[in-house]
């Protein structure tokens, strides 16, 4: 998580936003599109088996096309995989 927050600070130049996201993204000052994306990725991360076509419709309603939804899904899934590998191997401990 710390490496993700550091990355956000470097690319956004907004340490306050990175800190808010680190605490709880739901309380951060985000656009509706960013909030929809993070709601989706949080659900994908915690309960992927509960995703439904309605979740994809929420992303479309927020302005994402199918290609963007595929990218969001694949990037989130990739980070979930890498984070689990790092956890098992004790990276960052």
Asked whether residue 24 falls in the same domain as residue 60, the answer is no
Domain with residue 51: its CATH number is 1.20.1290.10
Pair 37, 77 in one domain: yes
Number of domains in the chain: 2
Q: At CB < 8 A and 24+ separation, what contacts does 3-10 make?
A: 3/92
Confidence of residue 8 (pLDDT cuts 50, 70, 90): low
Q: What is the pTM of this model?
A: 0.81
Same domain, 11 and 49: no
CB 2: neighbour CB atoms within 10 A? 8
pLDDT tens, residue by residue, 27-71: 889 999 999 999 999 999 999 999 999 999 999 999 999 999 999
Residue 16 belongs to what domain range? Answer: 1-28
Q: Does residue 45 share a domain with residue 10?
A: no
Same domain, 48 and 3: no
Look at the block and give the residue holding tokens 């956004």: 12
- One domain for residues 4 and 45: no
Question: Looking only at Cα atoms, what is the longest distance across the chain?
Answer: 40
- 67 and 93 within one domain: yes
The Cα–Cα gap between 9 and 11 comes to: 6
- State how far the Cα of 46 lies from the Cα of 68, in Å rounded to an integer: 21
């Amino acid at each position: 998580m710390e490496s993700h927050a550091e990355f956000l600070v470097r690319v956004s130049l907004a340490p306050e936003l990175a800190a808010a996201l680190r605490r709880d993204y739901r309380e951060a000052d985000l656009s509706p599109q960013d909030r929809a994306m993070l709601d989706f990725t949080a659900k994908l991360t915690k309960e992927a088996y509960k995703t439904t076509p309605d979740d994809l419709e929420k992303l479309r309603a927020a302005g994402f096309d199918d290609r963007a939804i595929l990218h969001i899904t694949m990037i989130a899934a990739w980070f979930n995989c890498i984070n689990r590998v790092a956890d098992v191997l004790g990276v960052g401990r």
